[in-house]
Structure 1
Amino acid sequence: MDLLNTILKPTTTAYEAWTTLETLFKDNKSSRHIYLTQKLNNTRLDNFDNMAAYCQEIKVLADQLANVDAPLTDKKMVQQLIAGLNEQYEGIAMLISNLTLLPSFHEARSKLMWEFDRKANISLQASQTAGTALHAATYKSDTTSTRQEQRTTDTASDRGRGRGRSRSRVRGRNGGRSH
């Protein structure tokens, strides 16, 4: 609404309003270009929850740069995509960047998405295996503790019984009966 109030005057024609609006946006192009380029250069995978969101942000920024008459080539988009990856994706980044002909942005995105899914699956399997191992270790530990407690209880009660029997036998053998 502020923009409308800025460009409209009581006697403004539609053409004049449009021309004024166009001038305002064109004046802003250089500063938007600088801002968007800086934002693109600082975009890193670590700032996103997943690979899809990271790739989407690169695409959105490229589209916004095109809107201010500073379109990115597909090659530049792929380079930026690779540059923002973390060390976890170093292998795939080197593989893509060392190709004689860089893939398109969509092909590179597809390869990165596949790698992200593969790593997520490996991580999930590892956590499930660790959970199973932890459960088994906990179960074994609980079972062992229960067995040790049972042995301790059995041994203590056997000792009590054994002492009683030994005393009576000793008395019986030694003729400890007194009349």
Structure 2
Amino acid sequence: MDSDGTARGAWVKLEKIYLSNKKARAATLETKFVNLTLAACSSLDDYCQKLKDLANQLEDVDQPISESRLVLQLVRGLPQEFDTTASLINSTNADWDEARSMLTDELIRIEACKPNSSSVIVATGPSNRSSQQQPSHNSRNLGVNSSSQLGLPSSSSLQTLPAAEDEAGDLGTKTEEAVEAGVQAATNPTHLG
């Protein structure tokens, strides 16, 4: 009987330690439960899982969480961008699964509304091209707004090729001389002979 008394004594002692620890554990779990937010978690799924785990742990220490309280805490921990969905969850008295589904749908909608990083890249470009892409107000413009639309090099790329620039300058000079000669010939008929 002595061994039974010792085993019983040890059991009672362990039970007292556990029970005193149980209340402290319940208080700690309750604090974690009410302070958990989506911002503190890596994802919506992680947030929901942590809430559910804390509710299960509270039940293990005789502090059960009802489904309606679990949904209320789920909504309370959401950031402002979920306000509309949170109001809808509260007004429809959604259960846990409905609330989670509504939040997942809202998260998909929010992600779809965010601008694509590739559109930012497309929207930005070299600053020297903005003047080339401005529509021309010349009446002889045949729908072509810039040399880049014709597949021609821009003036900035011609400046980087000195030989091409010299040739273009010579051509421009020759063209101007030919125009002058034509004008002189037209205005001075004696020069034709």
Tell me, what secondary structure is at the counterpart of 2:154? helix
Residues of 1 paired with 2:63 and 2:112: CA distance? 39
Residues of 2 paired with 1:146 and 1:43: CA distance? 60
The unaligned stretches of length 5 or more in structure 2 are 131-147, 185-193
Greater length-normalized contact order (CA 8 Å, ≥ 6 residues apart): 1
Distance change >3 Å, CA 137–CA 149, structure 1 → 2: same
* Pairs within 5 Å for 1:105-124: 105-123=96-114
Q: Which moved more, 1:45-54 or 1:110-119?
A: 110-119
Residues of 1 paired with 2:97 and 2:65: CA distance? 14
Distance change >3 Å, CA 46–CA 12, structure 1 → 2: farther
What percentage of aligned pairs have identical amino acids?
A: 26
Aligned residues: 155
Q: Which amino acid aligns with 1:21?
A: L
* Pairs within 5 Å for 1:21-170: 21-99=14-92, 102-123=93-114, 126-127=115-116, 130-132=117-119, 134-135=121-122, 138=125, 141=129, 146-150=153-157, 157-163=167-173, 166=177
Residues of 2 paired with 1:51 and 1:107: CA distance? 14
Q: Which amino acid aligns with 1:48?
A: C
Q: TM-score, normalised by structure 2?
A: 0.64
Q: TM-score, normalised by structure 1?
A: 0.68
More helix by share: 1
Q: Which amino acid aligns with 2:169?
A: R
- Structure 1 runs (4+) deviating above 6 angstroms are none
